[in-house]
Amino acid sequence: MSPANKRTVRTVIQGVVMFAVALPAIVTASGIPESLPWVVGALAIAGGLARVMALPAVEQLLDRIGLGLVDNEGGTP
């Protein structure tokens, strides 16, 4: 996979995590009752996903599947 494709996939993953982190604020701002079962489930999943993505083991997993942090070959920007 090219470095550009790796960056794209990582950006999509980061976007999902960013949405997961913002989901509680989105629910509050929209006025949806937080006691609805599907809202509680979504918030729990979002919080868990954000926490899991912060683990060093996740970066190691991304390295193993070829999506680890990439640098340009030759060290040029």
For the chain (length 77 residues), average pLDDT per consecutive 10? 80 82 86 83 79 81 77 50
* Global confidence as pTM: 0.53
Distance CA 24, CA 39 (A): 9
- What confidence score (pLDDT) does residue 77 get? 46
- What confidence score (pLDDT) does residue 52 get? 80
- What confidence score (pLDDT) does residue 71 get? 59
* SS3 assignment, position 67: coil
Label residue 5 left, alpha or beta by phi (over 0 means left) and psi (-120 to 50 means alpha). alpha
Is residue 46 within 8 A of residue 23, CB to CB? The reply is yes
